[in-house]
Amino acid sequence: MDPLYNRLASAVELAIRQAETILPPDVEEALHTAYNKETNPTARGEFENIFANLQIAREKNIPICQDTGVFVIYLTIPESVPFTARLYDAVTEGIRRATKSVPLRPNAVDPLSRKNSGDNTGAGIPAIHVIPGDTLRVTVFPKGAGSENMSQIRMMLPSEIEKIPEFVTSVVKDAGSRPCPPVIVGVGIGGTFDSAASFAKEALLEPINRMTSFEQKICDSINQLGIGVMGLGGGTTCLAVKVKEGACHTASLPVAVNIQCWCSRHGIVEVEI
């Protein structure tokens, strides 16, 4: 493999290891803040397991969660790097390497035969989003099924803007204990059917230590649901709501809600060109 692509594959492997073993500091801080406010004894016990788990994963360099996910990849490329299929091949190679070296659970299967590829790759997996940038940088976002399965999209009416918070809250309510709360909720508003879902996922990569008043309002209403940590009750159902918007057709209002478990993982590595 050409040295640049080999370095990109190594960067993907490293970013996956980082994502799988160490939680971003803003997420860990949000968990501690929520723990300090929580009064329900069962919920506090669950938080204590979470903190013990994070420490063991970090010290032993092993995955935080056994659902090591399927991979969504964001790649920024500078002008000097040609945009070719080799970029995609290098990313896929990095995932194959990480599957053995971290190690990861092989999760990618054919949707109908359910045959497992064994290396976390397959048709359309990983999803790779390429964006122009100043540096060659890879962001890996492993997504587990527990929370992904609870996500929803609705093509709302332009006259229903006021109902967006209610819809988002109802998605989290329907999900109940299944997505491993406390959750982070990514909301995509606008765009088309497909891009609204992409916005919702990209919103989950934003720092969670600040929210707009709109995001805070939805977050507060979710925390009134009483689902609690792991569905065991208490006041902590949602750590943050993050919204990303895009322009849409005058007759449309797509709203996508992508749910993320407390284990909100991502890894970012710059590649030397």
C-beta of 8: minimal distance to other proteins in Å? 25
Binding of residue 28 to other proteins (CB under 8 A): no
Collapsing DSSP to helix, strand or coil, 192 comes out as coil
The CA distance from 169 to 164, in Å, is 9
**Alpha-carbon gap, residue 245 to 201, rounded angstroms:** 12
63, 60, 35: which is closest to 49 by C-alpha? 35
CA distance 140 to 59: 21
Which one, 92 or 99, has the nearer CB to other proteins? 99
> Is residue 226 near other proteins by the rule CB under 8 A?
yes
**DSSP code, position 230:** G
Helix (H) or strand (E) holding 256: strand 253-260
Q: How far is the CB of 139 from other proteins (least distance, A)?
A: 21
Q: Under rule CB under 8 A, which residues in 159-218 are in contact with other proteins?
A: 176-178, 180
**CA distances (Å), 242 to each of 110, 150, 207, in order?**
32, 17, 9
Residue 80 has φ and ψ, to the nearest 5°, of -75, -15
- Among residues 33 and 212, whose Cβ is nearest to other proteins? 33
Tell me if 126 sits within 8 A of 72, measured CB to CB. yes
H-type alpha helices, the chain: 3-21, 25-37, 41-60, 85-101, 145-148, 164-175, 193-203, 213-223
Options 14, 16, 65, 243; binder of other proteins; rule CB under 8 A: 65
Among the candidate windows 51-59, 73-81, 86-94, 163-171, which touches other proteins by CB under 8 A?
51-59
| Nearest to other proteins of 149, 212 (CB atom) | 149
Beta carbon of residue 99, minimum distance to other proteins (angstroms, whole number): 10
Among 129, 233, 246, 248, which residue sits at the site for other proteins (rule: CB under 8 A)? Answer: 233
> Measured between alpha carbons, how far is 50 from 263 in angstroms, rounded to an integer?
9
Cβ of residue 46: shortest distance to other proteins, in angstroms? 5
32 lies in the binding site for other proteins (CB under 8 A):
no
User: If 0-12 CB within 10 Å is exposed, 13-18 middle and 19+ buried, where does residue 224 land?
Assistant: exposed
Kindly tell me which of 16 and 77 has the beta carbon lying closer to other proteins: 16
Size of the site for other proteins (CB under 8 A): 40
Distance of CA 236 to the CA centre of its chain: 19
Residue 231 is a binding residue for other proteins (CB under 8 A): yes
Q: Does 50 bind other proteins (CB under 8 A)?
A: yes
Contact flag: residue 230 with other proteins (CB under 8 A) = yes
> Binding to other proteins (CB under 8 A): which residues in 247-266?
261-263
Per-residue contact string for residues 110-149; x = within reach of other proteins by CB under 8 A: ------x-----------------------------x---
- Which residues contribute to the site for other proteins (CB under 8 A)? 41-42, 45-46, 49-50, 52-54, 56-57, 60, 62-68, 103-107, 116, 146, 176-178, 180, 226-227, 229-233, 261-263
